[in-house]
Amino acid sequence: MAEKHVITVNDSEFEAKVKNSELPCLVDFWAPWCGPCKSLGPVIDELAEEYDGKVQIVKMNVDDSPATPGKFGIKAIPTLILFKDGEAVDRITGAVGKAQLKDLLSKVS
């Protein structure tokens, strides 16, 4: 099952699990009430399986952890931010297709 590849983080874990990660991280900022976020979920799971060991796929619920999205100026969800060596290198806002996300991940994998 793909979900085991996706890591869920909150504000207090973000530094340790994303900023200090050995692997590049794709962070999906989402909320359970967000329709486009839900439609993106299966794609995120597939990518987590495909990029296992190359890119860490992380989900953060913006309702449960509002501080981190605020630090990155997230105004709309879903927003996906790609981190490498602890720094945000790119972002996509909105429900996008798998091909667009793979293009984003190709920058670090």
Q: What is d(CA 12, CA 49) in angstroms, rounded to the nearest whole number?
A: 25
Number of domains in the chain: 1
CATH number, domain containing residue 20: 3.40.30.10
Q: Whose structure tokens read 């869920």?
A: 8
pLDDT of residue 64: 97
Active site residues: 34, 37
Q: What is d(CA 96, CA 104) in angstroms, rounded to the nearest whole number?
A: 11
Mean pLDDT of the chain, nearest integer: 94
Q: Please write the tens of the pLDDT for every residue from 29-66.
A: 999 999 999 999 999 999 999 999 999 999 999 999 99
Residue type, 91: R
pLDDT of residue 1: 40
The tokens describing 39, both together, are 């439609």
Please state whether beta strands 56-61 and 6-8 pair in parallel, antiparallel, or not at all (unpaired).
Answer: parallel
Model confidence at 2, pLDDT cuts 50, 70, 90, reads: very low
Q: What is the pTM of this model?
A: 0.94
State which residues form the domain around 97: 2-105
